[in-house]
Amino acid sequence: QMSRWARDRFGASGLSLVDHSGLSDRSRITADDMVRILIKARESTELYALLKDIKMRNAKGNLARSAPTGFRAKTGTLNFVAGLGGYVTTASGRELAFAIFSADRTRRALIPVAQRERPKGASSWNRRAKILQYKMLNRWCHKYRS
């Protein structure tokens, strides 16, 4: 039902929601569909209120002193999976919707049952994924600054 609703309301065709929480590793959405939903949902203040302000970070993960902007977004994290979607405002005031998904599906599939809560390497993988997200956002802010 939820997948059909999102397709009908937002035109999100590459979407499969297994439950309403979004926490199932069987749910699927493309970054393209997530951005499409964010653009259409921006008209609603309810969604924007669910997002949190996040300060831009540099390539080492530290707060960026010369960052052109911050952003409002929602994170999503599972072991060896990282997602970030929301809005970034460039230095010129232009607002961009974005969605970044990264995963090591092979590594996730190989997690032993006994380690599912805290698998080895998941924290460092997540840290690297977040740094990549910040690098991409910084690049987009510079590229689309006007």
Provide mean pLDDT across the span 100-124. 94
Tens digit of pLDDT for each residue in 18-30?
876 666 778 888 9
- pLDDT confidence of residue 109: 94
Whole-structure pTM value: 0.84
90 vs 29, higher pLDDT:
29
What residues have CB less than 8 Å from 107, skipping those under 6 apart?
A: 80, 121, 125
- pLDDT confidence of residue 22: 61
- Nearest alpha carbon to residue 3 among 49, 37, 47: 37
- As a dihedral over the C-alpha atoms of residue 25, residue 27, residue 32, residue 36, rounded to 10 degrees, the angle is -130
The number of residues making up the chain comes to 146
Does 146 score more than 70 pLDDT? no
**Do 100 and 38 form a contact (C-beta atoms < 8 A)?**
no
59 vs 62, higher pLDDT:
62
CA–chain centroid gap for 29, Å, is 11
- pLDDT confidence of residue 20: 67
70 vs 67, higher pLDDT:
70
Provide mean pLDDT across the span 56-76. 78
Average confidence score pLDDT of the chain: 85
**Do 15 and 6 form a contact (C-beta atoms < 8 A)?**
yes
- Around Cβ 21, how many Cβ atoms within 10 Å? 8
- pLDDT confidence of residue 142: 79
Q: How far apart are CA 126 and CA 124, in angstroms?
A: 5
